[in-house]
Structure 1
């Protein structure tokens, strides 16, 4: 294992006195001239080609604003602990204003033609592509993933705008024949209304456009609450939406950290909001689901996962190892569709464990902006502690550490780890780790591994490798998940439906089904013909 000590990302940050002045003038100065100057200085420190993409304020009705309280949220680079800047600590009042602005904008935006929305979304997509390097760097700075992975995310993120631009002009209705010759039954689709979008930090850009692209294409307006750890990607997306010509009030962004409960409740219970779309943990999804039920809103919930990754004796081991590397360690294991439990049949167990360990030992951990770094940090120390707990629990029950197994003291880095002989009762088999930990468990029969794989309350994604055609169909159909990767570790694409079963959520995002989540189906019966 090679470890590159995370180097401090050198930026020209303001002094403490300058930051205090900045905060003062962003909240109290009538002219805010100094505030704008300081914001410009801070933005330039990100190293972007276009510093104007960096916004330090929330967005309501087309206006960049601070919190009424004057409070802010400090955002740091998880790889270096450097301060990136601040965003407003908004609350209930700002959230209500954002919802009201979105409701007003809906009256006109919902009446635009699908072709008009298509054209604006294509411009939006082109701007995200044009600013690819800047947007990718921004993801790395606030999330910590490597620049190579950030570039993949930005391309993935932009693809949703292109896909839903094309879907906007294909929201077809239908005519249903009637038994009465003087009656015509017509079904049309209409935008559902104002949408609240609540997203996680692990994909600070893609989790927004996957929802926002569909909402805009359908004719809906939105209030977005990005995570406090990674707000700058969301704000940059909003800036590009404005440049693309999306009207004021159609997209609103409320940033918050300590007021998240009251803001979340308002985004679920406000009667003007007609749909809630959330990606995050299962416990939070359940809370939001209960809140949204107060007005029977439509909801899309993409919650936690605990993905099984199965390698059968007849698998192509080269392909299985490569897929496990991508599927388990992408984003340092911080994706909802990461392989969390790796089951390997006894006949190839030793070979797979050896070859996977050799590859993982070559990883280089550090600041994602540095050359040669393969894996970045976890989002914060609490995430590191969870991985440590899972490793300690598994080892205490008989598991062996093949590679890694430790964190880097006083950082948010955990050395990518492979454990062998992980018992079925280890905590990792019942909890989503969300870290760079590959836990290998041996199995003997197909029936045994299906039971192990399905022995969980969640069901987002599952993966398996086999060259037996009959087995491929059997296992794919029997896995209790919303998405299956058969001989592949990649299932996420803009053109396919994304979502889970059981306690992994409700609804689907992406694909031809994604836009339907943001539309109402209306029946019109014409009589007297």
Structure 2
């Protein structure tokens, strides 16, 4: 069995801090349920020290030439690629996803750094036309120290999504990743450190989430909050951030509707959707979850989806043949089991899966058909390997049902009708819509949602812009 060998710690003011004199948290291997490492948790004094360092780091980094910022980011991307195998292995051991998915996460993170390195050089602003002898300048300046909080489902990418735009913009940052996937974040920050990022510019702390967030967000040093996680926690943090009127980016939960029309390429659609649904054991905020299928092809779609799902190889993410790993923590299998029982109790048909696995935090990839809108799983984000199928008759009905929830992060549509594609792109209430494909994350495009799924964007130029403030200078 592969050993977990990442050395864990806090990174504050350019110094790695160990567990001496601090409370600790045990990291578990999701494939076995066994402990594999001990993580030090930050004290109040550690958080104060991180805030002081971030204040110093901002003053230094905002005055650093964009070319130097870009060079550090480019070097970090290079180091990520060189260390991809080791970093991916850490992510799999602590989060559970198949190793090939973790390596893909490293590749995307490196691409995002490369793109944002370029954005560091493209902070143009503008000059407004004025009468001779006067001038008005619109400037974009870094907002200040950032407090960023990450979810555990993409332990490499979520960390880079916070660090990369902040560093490009000229901000300092205090990052609190998930305690359950701490090693991935530590390995990423070591790449930044080895690429030459000054020690005061980026800090990593771990601790009791509510205590850390209240401490960092109450400080006048913190000028931006960036959060990836659940809707309830996001709303709680937004209220805390309002007390100091800081800038906020929220990337919250989703409940991705999938509209499948009878003119789609059915086999290709099924192959694409089954693979994407069970990626990362369904623990993806943009996962396709509610499958609305036109009545004429519904039974064929359901049978094909269940058959493909039943062939998936579930196992330890470190095994080469594994297509879906365990869930990330002991809470998730029980939550999915409760949703399945509720749906079946309301008349849903179990077509595949539906049971917990042996050992670790496994749950079978599961397909339910004829799921009524009243089922809990159709209203609460499952965040797991659960596909919910139900038929529709008309396009208007499909759109109405897709839009009925307060979530609005991602949506998927499959149809060969060009006019319908345009209507769906306009009428679906989501920050991101994929038509005849499932790829929503690109380094150069914004990633974010609407309604309860949050506000603001990550990735793309918008990700860097979210870390800037606008100033106008009028001179005569």
TM-score computed with the length of structure 1 as normaliser: 0.88
Query: Do residues 215 (structure 1) and 189 (structure 2) align?
Result: no
**After TM superposition, what 4+ stretches of structure 1 lie above 6 angstroms from structure 2?**
none
Report the counterpart of residue 114 of structure 1 in structure 2: 66
Give me the whole-angstrom Cα distance separating, in 1, the residues matched to 2:355 and 2:19.
Answer: 41
Give me the whole-angstrom Cα distance separating, in 2, the residues matched to 1:381 and 1:86.
Answer: 18
Once the two structures are overlaid, the 10-residue window that deviates more, 55-64 or 408-417, is 408-417
Query: Do residues 298 (structure 1) and 298 (structure 2) align?
Result: no
Asked whether the 8 Å contact 1:68–1:90 carries over to 2, the reply is no
Deviations 1:379-403 (A, max 9, x none): 1221111111111111111111111
1:166 to 112, 118, 127: 118
Query: Gapped runs of 5+ residues in structure 2?
Result: none
Deviations 1:62-119 (A, max 9, x none): 1111357421111011111232211112132211211110111111111011111111
Asked whether the 8 Å contact 1:105–1:250 carries over to 2, the reply is yes
Deviations 1:164-193 (A, max 9, x none): 001100011101112x33321111111111
Asked whether the 8 Å contact 1:328–1:339 carries over to 2, the reply is yes
1:76 to 12, 22, 28: 28
Query: Do residues 185 (structure 1) and 136 (structure 2) align?
Result: yes
What displacement does 1:351 show?
A: 1.3
Give me the whole-angstrom Cα distance separating, in 2, the residues matched to 1:248 and 1:228.
Answer: 21
Once the two structures are overlaid, the 10-residue window that deviates more, 125-134 or 265-274, is 265-274
Asked whether the 8 Å contact 2:33–2:359 carries over to 1, the reply is no
Report the counterpart of residue 93 of structure 1 in structure 2: 45
Give me the whole-angstrom Cα distance separating, in 1, the residues matched to 2:218 and 2:408.
Answer: 27
Q: Secondary structure at the match of 2:74?
A: helix
Query: Do residues 203 (structure 1) and 158 (structure 2) align?
Result: no
What displacement does 1:294 show?
A: 0.4
Report the counterpart of residue 177 of structure 2 in structure 1: 226
Deviations 1:394-413 (A, max 9, x none): 11111111111111255311
Aligned residues: 476
Asked whether the 8 Å contact 2:10–2:41 carries over to 1, the reply is no
Report the counterpart of residue 332 of structure 1 in structure 2: 281
Give me the whole-angstrom Cα distance separating, in 1, the residues matched to 2:8 and 2:279.
Answer: 29
Q: Secondary structure at the match of 2:474?
A: strand
Deviations 1:413-437 (A, max 9, x none): 1110111111121111111001111
Asked whether the 8 Å contact 2:31–2:359 carries over to 1, the reply is no
Give me the whole-angstrom Cα distance separating, in 1, the residues matched to 2:331 and 2:171.
Answer: 37
Asked whether the 8 Å contact 2:22–2:43 carries over to 1, the reply is no
Once the two structures are overlaid, the 10-residue window that deviates more, 375-384 or 66-75, is 66-75
Report the counterpart of residue 377 of structure 1 in structure 2: 326
Asked whether the 8 Å contact 2:357–2:364 carries over to 1, the reply is yes
Query: Do residues 262 (structure 1) and 194 (structure 2) align?
Result: no
Query: Do residues 244 (structure 1) and 234 (structure 2) align?
Result: no
Query: Do residues 518 (structure 1) and 467 (structure 2) align?
Result: yes
Give me the whole-angstrom Cα distance separating, in 2, the residues matched to 1:195 and 1:322.
Answer: 41
Deviations 1:455-510 (A, max 9, x none): 10110000010000000000111011100001111211111100000011110001
Asked whether the 8 Å contact 1:127–1:240 carries over to 2, the reply is yes
Q: Secondary structure at the match of 1:340?
A: strand
Report the counterpart of residue 411 of structure 1 in structure 2: 360
Whichever of the two has the greater Rg, that structure is 1
What displacement does 1:268 show?
A: 1.7
Give me the whole-angstrom Cα distance separating, in 2, the residues matched to 1:454 and 1:327.
Answer: 21
Once the two structures are overlaid, the 10-residue window that deviates more, 391-400 or 277-286, is 391-400
Once the two structures are overlaid, the 10-residue window that deviates more, 322-331 or 168-177, is 322-331
2:109 to 157, 163, 178: 157
Asked whether the 8 Å contact 2:42–2:206 carries over to 1, the reply is yes
RMSD: 1.2
Deviations 1:337-356 (A, max 9, x none): 00121110011111111111
2:383 to 434, 442, 448: 434
Asked whether the 8 Å contact 1:304–1:460 carries over to 2, the reply is yes
Report the counterpart of residue 433 of structure 2 in structure 1: 484
1:289 to 233, 238, 241: 238
Query: Gapped runs of 5+ residues in structure 1?
Result: 1-9, 12-44
